Chains A and B, each alone.
Chain A
Amino acid sequence: MVLEVTANKISDDAETKDDKANELFRAEKTWFEIGVDTDRDMRYGAWQIKEIIDLTLPPLQTQKEQYLINFDTDVEQVELEAKLYYYISGGKGDVVYSVKKTLEFDVD
């Protein structure tokens, strides 16, 4: 499961519509199902796993992820997006939730 937070500059200029060029911030938090045993070895085979360090989100718990983002002094408008992905297997991730917010800053 992955939480992805991005901030993109909103620009009216057609030449700068490219998402990558406009990306101002990106952060990810991953909750892993399996991977590290108590001997600090990576373990993926079911027969190899005896005990593992729990890197998942435990039941009945809420985890908080907080990001302080500073933009440049000429940034007037940004679009923030937070997405929660669930990966049923390594390659296939579904967006479970997505929240978007546009912010405008007075730069004068």
Chain B
Amino acid sequence: MRQAPVRMLLALVTIFLLAGVQNATAKEADTIDELVAMFDDSKCAECHEEIYKEWQDSWHAKAVNSSLGGMRNFIVVGLAKEWNTKLTKTQVLKCLDCHAPAVNYASEKLAVEIGELIVKAKDDKDENAKKQLAKLNVGCLSCHNIKATSVSLGLHGAPKKGVVYGPNGEDGDDFHESIETPDITRSVFCMQCHGVYKAPDGETIQCNTLSGSYQNSYISMGGSKTCQECHMKKGHLFPGGHDLDTVKEGLGFDVQFAQYQHLPGKIKGVKDAKKWVPSVVVTAFVENKTGHRVPDG
């Protein structure tokens, strides 16, 4: 009986501590500007100007507005009509966990608002909605923080606030703490989004199947290159199917023409059945030199 007050005190301390932890992780943005401020990429440009410029021209920098059609269809057709399901943060994240990972830190209300903005931007061609959505993207901290530890959470734990995860962990001259994460140089890192996406509720979303063909058809056939080896040749521009040079590099094309005369009387419908028939055999060889199926994206 004498232990009861001690147990009560321990229970209260535990509840207090748990509440504290929850509050620390429960900080959520209520506006797009608040969300952007939480993962302010413009600060990165102060030291990493060249990399930032490359990224600005990349499709990662416009990952929301460049995919409005597909996301709008998920909300309007998939959720509303086919699933008869309400637009919620959980549902919005089935697109935006990849297209704008910062939305993981949005409040329920803001996430739904972002979903509604997507529909407005697409259906009403609302320029203001597009302007708001342009602030959301796959930014520096999407990869170098939010998604940095996802593929080996057991080893690295959840991403720490304010820390920049990179391939070498070089210190940011006191500007930021850096932690080495070799995962970021591996294909599996890109495959979090560039492949079959498994939502936290178990839903499978397949925007493309790059990871499937990479693992099951490329690696299994003896391929050994990483995504980064080909798609980071132009740094953080990450060229792919939109870049003709990259497409060219990934495909081989050889065409052979074998001219001959076909035996008279063997081809129906020609003007003179007694004459040799002008003929050719055209053989085209199309080679996929990439590490994934083509086309895909």
Contacts and interface: CB of A to CB of B under 8 A. Distances in A.
Interface of A: 1, 3, 5, 7, 31-33, 45-50, 52, 54, 56-76, 78, 80, 82, 84, 86-88, 94, 96-97, 99, 101, 103, 105, 107
B63 to A, nearest CB: 14
Contacts of A62: 252, 285-288
Interface of B: 70, 73-74, 77-78, 82, 94, 203-209, 213-214, 217-218, 221-223, 241-242, 244, 247-248, 251-253, 255, 257, 259, 261-262, 267, 270-272, 275-297
Contacts of B73: 45
Given A103-B280, A107-B275, A84 B293 contact: no
B293 A65 contact: no
B204 A96 contact: no
5 contacts: A5-B284, A57-B295, A61-B288, A84-B286, A88-B241
Nearest to B77: A45
Contact of A87 (B74, B275, B293, B295): B295
B294 to A, nearest CB: 5
Contact of A68 (B204, B218, B279): B279
A54 B295 CA distance: 11
Nearest to B206: A49
A94 B247 contact: yes
Given A3-B284, A69-B280, A73-B272, 8 more contacts: A3-B286, A33-B296, A47-B74, A50-B204, A56-B295, A62-B286, A67-B281, A88-B297
A92 to B, nearest CB: 10
- Give the top 6 A-B pairs by smallest Cβ distance, nearest first: A105-B278, A97-B253, A56-B293, A49-B206, A59-B218, A73-B275
Given A1-B294, A71-B278, A75-B278, A57 B288 contact: yes
Contacts of B277: 70-73
